[in-house]
Structure formats: C-alpha cells, structure tokens
C-alpha cells in the first residue's frame, strides 16, 4: 500500500510512536501534523508518512525544540520526501558547504547551511554537519588549500547555524543553569554549542558566554545566575605562566561550583586543572561526558 494511504487507527499509532492519542489529536488541531484521512465512520486513519512525521516531531520535541518550531521543521522535511534521496543527506550537505567555500560563494554557503537546519535534531545536525565540516575546513586551512578568509566564512556561517538551532530549543525555564564559555585566549567557540545541545537533553539550561571569556567575566556570571555547573573549553593551551594564571583565576572565580574543562587543549593542563578542583574531559564525546556531569551534580539532572 502506498505510504500516503491511511491504514492505522489512532491507538495503534499511539502504541507505534509512544505518543499518547490525546497528544496526537492536539498536534493535528494546533499544527496540522499529522493529517490523517477519515474513514466512512469518521475514524482517523494514519498513513506510514503520518507515522514518520509523528516520530520526527516527537524526536525534535524530545531534543528540546518547541512543538510549534518542530512542526514547521517537519513540514519542510515532508515537502522534500518526493525529491531524489541522497545516500547520506548529512554528507551531501557537508560537501555542498565545502564546495561553496572552495568557490568562495557566500550565497551557496548560506543555501547549504539553511538546508542543514531541516535534516534533523539540533544535536544530530551539530554532530553530522557542523562538527565534521569545521574539521574539514581546519584541515584545508592547515594544508594551505583554504585561506583565512574561507576559514572565517565557514566559522561565521556554521556559528550562526549553531546559534539559530540553540534559539529554537525549548529550554525549561526552571531548569538549573549551566554556564559554558571559552578560556580567555580561546577564539573557537563552536564546540560550546555541541555541549549546549547535550546539556538541554540532560535537563540543564545552558548560558553561553562564548569565546575569550576571562575569569572576571566568569565571576560576574557565577555571582549573578548561580549556575549548577561551569564548563570551559580550550583547543590550544597557552604558555605555562599564562595557563597557571588563568586556571587560578577560574578556580577562584567559580567559587566552589563544579567545573569541567574540555577541548583538545585541556589534556595538557590536566594536572593544574585537577589540582585546582576542576574536572578534565578532553575531547570525549557527549555521551561519555554525561556520566561525569551527572556525578558532579549529584543527581540534579533528569534522565
């Protein structure tokens, strides 16, 4: 039977998708998703396409996106269902961004980045598009095939994508705050957004201060919002004298709040950070970092 023909009753779909029947009715009424057919007896009949849309809408909501925004994203995904299917749409978008950068085509970069927003959840887009593309750009910059201008264009476009995705997420206003920022001499802040998406899933509300955040700024933020945890990122370690100064400054500014340091430059500073009460997670993946965060917060996280 074609995927757009209705064949499932509402309770069957509720069991298939783990979305209560009452929620399915509410989504249909408010957002037009799903859009089931009606039988001669006025029963809703859901198609395979409806089920796919419901599962995608639930996935996006579970990731923290507001239902209205998630519904709009699902509509855009549904519009492209009849288009030719790429073997891996994430790799296709990465390739499109890199090609546009090679051609120094800012409009092409913008089109590809916009398309990335509709591929899936914020975390998935970060893991499959933003992260891999920036690593490829970094490799090309290091080998001389990309200029500084191309690297900056990529950073700006992908940073804007990450910020837009974060704004779309429906963060719980009562959730504990998590303060995340880069070391004072650190320019690269894209990694903070990958962490932010994970924190939302774990029941925290990320507050992103961004690149080059000195200890004084961390102190002000800690005193103002009283975060449950502080996360710092560093990719290139500073000279030893500067590292010692910064680590002492952050440890003092954080005022006893649990703090975690990640990024490729954190391993070189492990001894000093741990001696000052911090926790080093290096370049571990988010699913490996979560147990560390859970332990640091002693049960304050959900799930």
CATH of the domain at 45: 1.10.1660.10
Q: Which of 168, 201, 231 is the last residue of a domain?
A: 168
| Same domain assignment for residues 186 and 161 | no
pLDDT at 81: 52
| Same domain assignment for residues 273 and 290 | yes
State the pTM of this model. 0.70
pLDDT at 85: 47
Residue 122 lies in a domain: yes
Residue 273 lies in a domain: yes
Instruction: Give the contacts of 94 (CB within 8 A, at least 6 positions apart).
Output: 128, 129, 132, 133, 136
- What is the spatial distance between Cα 249 and Cα 283, in angstroms, rounded to a whole number? 23
Residue 303 lies in a domain: no
| Same domain assignment for residues 259 and 281 | yes
| Same domain assignment for residues 32 and 140 | no
| Same domain assignment for residues 210 and 292 | yes
Distance of CA 209 to the CA centre of its chain: 16
| Same domain assignment for residues 113 and 192 | no
Residue 44 lies in a domain: yes
CB contact burial 94-111 (16+ within 10 A = b; e otherwise)? bebbbebbeeeeeebbee
| Same domain assignment for residues 45 and 68 | yes
Residue 110 lies in a domain: yes
| Same domain assignment for residues 284 and 243 | yes
pLDDT digits (tens, 9 = 90+) for 214-253: 999 999 999 999 999 999 999 988 888 899 999 999 999 9
| Same domain assignment for residues 94 and 195 | no
In total, how many domains does the chain have?
Answer: 3
| Same domain assignment for residues 135 and 236 | no
- What is the spatial distance between Cα 278 and Cα 258, in angstroms, rounded to a whole number? 7
Reading the block at residue 130, the tokens are: 């933003």
pLDDT at 1: 45
Q: Which of 168, 202, 236 is the last residue of a domain?
A: 168
Residue 232 lies in a domain: yes
| Same domain assignment for residues 163 and 102 | yes
| Same domain assignment for residues 70 and 96 | no
Residue 1 lies in a domain: no
Residue 139 lies in a domain: yes
Q: Can you give the residue range of the structural domain that contains 181? A: 177-297
CB-side neighbour CA atoms (13 Å) of 90: 14
Q: Which of 79, 101, 130 is the last residue of a domain?
A: 79
pLDDT in tens, the chain (303 residues): 456 677 889 999 999 999 999 999 999 999 889 889 988 888 889 998 889 899 988 888 887 777 887 888 788 777 655 544 456 888 989 999 999 999 999 999 999 998 888 887 888 899 899 999 999 999 999 999 999 999 999 999 999 999 988 887 766 667 899 999 999 999 889 889 988 988 888 888 999 999 999 999 999 999 999 999 999 999 988 888 899 999 999 999 999 999 999 998 999 999 999 999 999 998 887 778 888 888 888 755 554
């Amino acid at each position: 039977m074609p995927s757009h023909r209705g064949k499932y009753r509402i309770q069957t779909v509720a069991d298939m998708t783990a979305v209560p029947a009452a929620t399915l009715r509410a989504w249909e009424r408010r957002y037009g998703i799903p859009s089931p057919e009606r039988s001669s007896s006025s029963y809703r009949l859901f198609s395979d396409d409806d089920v796919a849309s419901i599962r995608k809408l639930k996935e996006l909501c579970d990731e923290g996106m507001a239902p209205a925004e998630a519904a709009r994203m699902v509509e855009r995904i549904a519009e492209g269902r009849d288009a030719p299917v790429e073997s891996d749409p994430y790799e296709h978008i990465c390739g499109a961004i890199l090609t546009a950068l090679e051609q120094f085509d800012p409009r092409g970069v913008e089109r590809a980045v916009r398309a990335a927003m509709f591929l899936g959840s914020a975390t998935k887009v970060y893991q499959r598009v933003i992260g891999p593309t920036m690593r490829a750009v970094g490799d090309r910059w290091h080998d001389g095939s990309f200029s500084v201008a191309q690297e900056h264009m990529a950073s700006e476009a992908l940073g804007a994508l990450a910020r837009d995705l974060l704004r779309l997420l429906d963060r719980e206003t009562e959730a504990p705050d998590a303060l995340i920022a880069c070391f004072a001499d650190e320019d690269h802040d894209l990694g903070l957004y990958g962490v932010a998406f994970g924190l939302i899933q774990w029941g925290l509300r990320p507050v992103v201060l961004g690149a080059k955040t000195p200890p004084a700024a961390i102190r002000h933020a800690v005193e103002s919002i009283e975060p449950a945890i502080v996360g710092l990122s560093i990719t290139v370690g500073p000279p030893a004298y500067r590292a010692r100064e910064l680590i002492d400054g952050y440890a003092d500014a954080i005022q006893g709040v649990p703090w975690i340091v990640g990024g490729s430059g954190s391993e070189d500073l492990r001894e000093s950070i741990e001696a000052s009460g911090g926790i080093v997670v290096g370049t571990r993946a988010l699913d490996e970092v979560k147990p560390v965060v859970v332990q640091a917060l002693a049960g304050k996280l959900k799930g």
